[in-house]
Amino acid sequence: MSPDRSTCLRTHALPLVLILCAMTPAAWCDGTIAGADPVVLHEDGAWCWFEDERAIIHGDALIVGTVADGRNPDGTRNAGRRGHIEVVTFDLARMQRVGSVVLHSNLQADDHNSPAFMARADGRILAVYAKHGPENHFHYRITTRPGDTMHWEPERTFTPSANSRITYSNLFRLSAENAGRGRIYDFFRGLDNSFKPSYVYSNDGGESWHKGSVVINVPSKVKHRPYAKYASNGTDTVHIVYTEGHPRNYDNSVYHVFYRDGHLHRSDGTVIRPLSQGLVEPEEGTRIFQGDADNVAWTSDIHVDGEGRPYVVYSVQKDSAGLPTGQGGEDHRYRYAWWDGSEWNDHEIAYGGARLYAREDDYTGNVALDPQNLSRVYISTNVDPVSGKPLASGHYEIFEGVTGDGGATWEWQAVTEGSAVDNLRPIVPISRGRDRRRRRHVGVASRHRRFSRGQPAAHCPHQQRSVPGPVVAAGHLQVIHELRPGCSRDRGSAVGAC
C-alpha cells in the first residue's frame, strides 16, 4: 500500500444497479428490441475491472459477483449490508433470477473487492476475493456441489506472507500443468508489500494454496504498481497485458508477455526468465503502445482467439500534459490491438469521452471485448464514438463496434440511447460450448447518488439496437478515491487509488 494513501485520499461510495435485458429471436424487429423488459440482477452492487472473471457462464447459469454499497433502491442507507461480497445467479435457459448469496458480510465497501470466479474440474465454483490492500490474506469459498450456486462451503483464507498487502483476484486453471491434473493460478497485487502483480497457485482445485512470486517489478524509488489484465487458453498459457503504473502517476505504455511451461515470454515466444523470478522491469515485455505525457494508457480487457492469439483493448487519455489533477481527462480514446503471430496490430477505434469524475482523470466508462467474437467490442462513452461530439442524453451510453478488417475501420451502433443514467463498465462473459441463441443481456449502472422515490435507479430503454453476442453486462465503480487539496498529478509521486 502506498504510504501516502491514508493522508492523500478520501473515499466515498456510490450505488450500483445491474440490469439485464433479454430477448429471443421473436423479439427482433428491424434491429430494435420490441417489448423487452429489463431484469434487475442486483439493486446494490459494484465491481472493478481488474478482477477476472467477474461474471461467468457455467452451463445455463450466469454468475455475477458484486460488492454492496449499503443503499436501498430509493437511495436511503442500508448500513447492515454495506461491504457485503455477494454472488448473483441468473438462469439463462429459464430467463429468471435464481437468487443471491452473501459470501462475506461487511468485508469492505470497495469495488476492488468483488470476487473472481472459476469453474473447477469437478463442476463446482471457486470464488476468491480480498480487501483493497489492508490485509495480508485473501478469502475463498467453494460451492458444495456442481450446479448449485446457492450453497457454499465455509470461508477460508490464505496468507502468502505476513507482510503481503493484497488487492484483486484473477483465477485461471491450466489443465496441462501439475502432471496433467491441472493447476490453478490466482494473480493478485501486493505479495510481500510489493504493490506489484503477483501470484499464488493451487494443485488441488483451490483447497490449499502455495506462495509464488512477484510477476512484474518496477525498479524505482517510487512504489509504482503495474496494472495487469490476464487471459488464458485454459490449457498451458496465461497472457498478461500491463502498464508501468497508475496513469495518474506515470505516462503509461502498454506491454504484453505470456506465461507457458514455467517461463515468461515476449509476444514472439522469446523466453525472458522463469515465472518464479518475474520481470525485472516492465520494458522486458513486448511494447504494444508507446505512451507519453499526452497519451497515457490504461488496460481494460484481454482475450485469446481459437489459435491462442491475444486481443487487447485499452484507453488512452489525450493532451493532459502539465495539467494538475482534476483539469485533464476531457478526451479519452479507445484502442484495439491484436497479435497476428509476428507483430502487434494496434488501432485507435473510438472516442471514449470525458473522465467519469474530477480528480481521477483517467477513469472512463470502459471498453470490453466479446470473447466469442473478437472482432466485436462494447464501449461506454458520453460522446459519439466516431465524431467525438457530446451525446444528446448527456450520459454515458453503451455502443457496439464491429470490425471486418482487423481493427482498421469500425461500424458502430447504439446499444443504449436516451438514457436517464450512465451506463458503465460493460463486460461480456465467456460462454464456450453454450448454444449461442440470440439473446441480449445488458447491464446498466448509475453513478447518481440521489433517487426520486418510486423511480428506478437505472433503466434499460426499450428501443435499443440488437446485439448478437451472448451476454453484455455493465457495472460501475462503487468506491471513488479523491485526492485531497494539495495532492497533485505527479508522474513521479506515489499517491495511489485504484
109 in Cβ contact with 83 (< 8 Å) = yes
pLDDT tens per residue, range 174-207: 999 999 999 999 999 999 999 999 999 999 999 9
The confidence score (pLDDT) of residue 434 equals 52
By mean pLDDT, which of 74-78, 338-342, 393-397, 485-489 is the weakest?
Answer: 485-489
Cell of 454: 418510486
The confidence score (pLDDT) of residue 92 equals 84
Residue with cell 453503451: 398
pLDDT at residue 37 tops 80? no
pLDDT category at 415 given cuts 50, 70, 90 is confident
| 3-state SS assignment for residue 418 | coil
Domains belonging to the chain, first-starting first, are: 5-483 (2.120.10.10)
pLDDT tens per residue, range 296-328: 999 999 999 999 999 999 999 998 888 887 788
pLDDT at residue 488 tops 60? no
Length of the chain: 498
Rounded mean pLDDT of 34-59?
78
Helices (H), 54-131: none
The confidence score (pLDDT) of residue 39 equals 65
Strands (DSSP E) found in 130-236: 138-142, 156-158, 167-174, 183-189, 197-202, 210-214, 228-232
pLDDT tens per residue, range 436-447: 443 443 333 333
pLDDT category at 104 given cuts 50, 70, 90 is very high
Rounded mean pLDDT of 131-158?
97
pLDDT at residue 470 tops 80? no
The predicted model scores a pTM of 0.85
pLDDT tens per residue, range 160-183: 999 999 999 999 999 999 999 999
